[in-house]
Structure 1
Amino acid sequence: MRELKVGIIGAGIWGANHARVFNTLLQTRLVAVCDIAPERANAFKEQSGCAAAYSDFNELIADPEVEAISVATPDFTHAPIILAALKANKHVLCEKPLAMTLEETEEVAKAAAQSSGKLMVDFHNRVNPAIVQLRDAVAAGEIGNAVHGYARLSNTTYVPLEMLSWAAKSSALWFLGSHVVDALRFVLNDEVVRVYSVARSGVLKARGVDTQDVHISTLEFSKGAVITLENSWILSTANPIAYDFKIELVGDKGQINANPSHNGAVTKLTSQGAKFADLLGITPTGPSRIGGFVLEAIAQFVDAVLDEAPLLADAKDGLAVTRVLAAIEQSAAQGTPVRLCF
């Protein structure tokens, strides 16, 4: 059995998820880690058992032991890392978004087409059981033609104020909207052709994070469906979970709703209030297996590299999502609808 040797760039929360997968699968070996903070890189190296730690991503990319690279760094840092890795013909798994400008994303997509390395975007909701159920129901015609819907992926203020030190360099639109726009494309098997969006700011700025509080957007798809999309970073921390994810679709023959976050299958009631548990993202398994859609998506990158399995989401998907998010920002800034060109 061939072994894939992997390096991780970004020694934070999500980098740890990547390490968990690569240290569990029998066909992968984690050989290097990189983080801009040397002490964090070295701590990650010790915890994960890999051989090398770097503070410059170019050094990790140049490491001859590294065949594939996971990019688990902040949203705004992705493009230069991906471009350098693809130039070196390394395989790349990148967290969303692929990049935060249309120009950078187009450059990445062009580089992916020219490189012998594979590029996958970690749009992990494509293997989220709730979202797959939506996709299958729509594809089977259970609700007929999708007419309208509502999608919400928002966070409590804990995320921009406490969890992400770099929140001011991103927004709920880029951090969360990238996931849900791709999920809608996946479920509807369709592309967005026009958007109209309104943004509001002030709550986070007053608390020291200079980014938008919320985008409320209308997405029109080519087959006729109209979806209202909410991406907010100012939900109350009194919520029982830090994220709120819902998709509701109404068709001409039926309706289907998904509520992956607030389904209440497990509710903890303590002195700190009510809290929901996440039962889908990461699930219990034996020591040689991984479970849950968050880890499964990472494992599918390995399948694509070693077994020529289809990529879960490729550069074209990443580019399509960035086009929509950039159009949403443009619409919110100018106060008019924006039509997308493909």
Structure 2
Amino acid sequence: MSKLRMGVIGAGLWGNNHAHTFNVLPETELVGVCDLDEGRALKMKESFGAELAFTDYEKLINNAAIDAVSVATPDFTHTPIVLAALKADKHVLSEKPLATTVKEAEEIAEAAAKSKGKLMVDFHNRVNPILAQVRDMIQNGEIGLARHGSARLSNTTYVPFEMLSWAKKSSALWFLGSHLVDVLRFILADEVERVYSVARSGTLAKGGVDTKDFHSSILEFSKGTVVTMENSWILSKDNPSLVDFKIEFVGEKGQVQADPTHNGGLRRIVDGGLRYNDYIGITPTGETRIGGFVLESIARFIDSVVRGTPLLADAEDGLANTKILAAIEESVATGKAVTVG
């Protein structure tokens, strides 16, 4: 069987995860890579043995040698790339969030419905083994109806100040909240009906990144569950991990608590103090397999295109996600609770 010929748009950290996955899976061949920075595109081409390198995503998309593309560019840049790929009937894997406005997300969902290509959003925490178990517990009724919960997905200041060159064009809400909102929808198998949120600025702006420091939100789900949600970019860099991720649900018959931040069993003490290493996100495997949920989710896209298995998350999931985040932004702006959609 001929291999699915892949193109990767975006040569940053996550684009490299995509390129690596397509290089390892026996069903795929990495043909082309693209980045606005020609040097980065050429470096990725050389690192992963791709045949082609581009600085114009339209040239990659319209190249007849490429069957499917993955979009691993900054949050706010996805829409024109995804739309161009769907118009060309390419299969598309997009990093989250699908879009940063409801109008754009709706446009993408409409284009996906018309395209011969499949569209998947890379909400990789759906295959995080810890969170998948939480979903099973909730859906199996182990704690009864989840009455209320709390969810925190935040970063240290390293992320907006050092890791992301484009942080001022995004926020912890869009960068992290998009993951967390999807995880909550996934675990509860339910939709958010109403949100209320507050946000503050100042700490990041003083450091030259003019975006919100944090969002604190309340999400009301249709079955009655109420979740408080935190997304912050101002945690201390002295934390042992740049991510702080916690979820708890209180139900009619019990509670479930999850801390996917780290796994505790692997620790190192270096300059700067205690640090945790992740050992389930990416794990070692053989030459033709991918291990860890971060890369597994990318492989699920290939499963869907090649084998017809269900998409991990589709355009409608991406649209629902954007609607909730946009409602949170509206609540911050108006100071009022906002009904989603």
Alpha-carbon offset, residue 265 of structure 1: 1.9
Aligned to 1:14: 14
Which one is further off, 140-149 or 285-294? 285-294
Alpha-carbon offset, residue 262 of structure 1: 4.0
Letter in 2 for 1:49: G
Aligned to 1:331: 331
Letter in 1 for 2:174: W
Give matches, 1:64-79, under 5 Å: 64-79=64-79
Alpha-carbon offset, residue 117 of structure 1: 0.5
Give matches, 1:78-157, under 5 Å: 78-157=78-157
Give matches, 1:130-209, under 5 Å: 130-209=130-209
Give matches, 1:157-306, under 5 Å: 157-306=157-306
Alpha-carbon offset, residue 94 of structure 1: 0.3
Alpha-carbon offset, residue 57 of structure 1: 0.3
Tell me the SS of whatever aligns to 1:219: strand
Q: 1:17-42 deviations in whole A, cap 9, x for unaligned?
A: 00111000111000000000011101
Q: 1:137-174 deviations in whole A, cap 9, x for unaligned?
A: 00110000000000000000000000000000000000
Tell me the SS of whatever aligns to 2:229: strand
Following TM superposition, the consecutive aligned residue runs of length 4 or more in structure 1 with deviations greater than 2 angstroms are none
Mapped partners of 1:262, 1:277: distance in 2:
7
Q: Indicate if the aligned counterparts of 1:21 and 1:290 stay in contact, CA closer than 8 A.
A: yes
Mapped partners of 1:313, 1:142: distance in 2:
25
Q: Indicate if the aligned counterparts of 1:124 and 1:293 stay in contact, CA closer than 8 A.
A: yes
Alpha-carbon offset, residue 286 of structure 1: 1.7
Tell me the SS of whatever aligns to 1:41: helix
Aligned to 2:54: 54
Cα RMSD for the two superposed structures: 0.7
Q: 1:264-304 deviations in whole A, cap 9, x for unaligned?
A: 22111123310011122101112221100000000000000
Letter in 2 for 1:107: E
Q: Indicate if the aligned counterparts of 1:57 and 1:81 stay in contact, CA closer than 8 A.
A: yes
Aligned to 1:27: 27
Letter in 2 for 1:212: K
Mapped partners of 1:174, 1:246: distance in 2:
18
Tell me the SS of whatever aligns to 2:194: strand
Q: 1:45-80 deviations in whole A, cap 9, x for unaligned?
A: 011100000000000001101100000000010000
Letter in 2 for 1:226: V
Q: 1:150-206 deviations in whole A, cap 9, x for unaligned?
A: 000000000000000000000000000000100000000000000000001000000
Mapped partners of 1:263, 1:314: distance in 2:
29
Mapped partners of 2:289, 2:305: distance in 1:
19
Which one is further off, 316-325 or 253-262? 253-262
Q: Which runs of 5+ in 1 are unaligned?
A: none
Letter in 2 for 1:80: P
Tell me the SS of whatever aligns to 1:204: helix
Tell me the SS of whatever aligns to 2:217: strand
Letter in 1 for 2:38: P
Letter in 2 for 1:158: Y
Tell me the SS of whatever aligns to 2:149: strand
Tell me the SS of whatever aligns to 1:223: coil
Alpha-carbon offset, residue 2 of structure 1: 3.4
Tell me the SS of whatever aligns to 2:203: coil
Q: Indicate if the aligned counterparts of 1:2 and 1:306 stay in contact, CA closer than 8 A.
A: no
Aligned to 2:4: 4
Letter in 2 for 1:27: E
Corresponding position: 1:307 with 2:332: no
Letter in 1 for 2:64: P
Q: Indicate if the aligned counterparts of 2:78 and 2:94 stay in contact, CA closer than 8 A.
A: yes
Q: 1:71-122 deviations in whole A, cap 9, x for unaligned?
A: 0000010000000000000000000000101110010000000101000000
Question: TM-score if structure 1 supplies the norm length?
Answer: 0.99
Letter in 1 for 2:231: N
Aligned to 1:42: 42
Question: TM-score if structure 2 supplies the norm length?
Answer: 0.99
Letter in 2 for 1:203: T
Percent identity reads 63
Tell me the SS of whatever aligns to 1:265: coil
Mapped partners of 1:165, 1:286: distance in 2:
34
Which one is further off, 266-275 or 329-338? 266-275
Tell me the SS of whatever aligns to 2:73: coil
Mapped partners of 2:77, 2:271: distance in 1:
39
Alpha-carbon offset, residue 134 of structure 1: 0.5
Q: Indicate if the aligned counterparts of 1:198 and 1:217 stay in contact, CA closer than 8 A.
A: yes
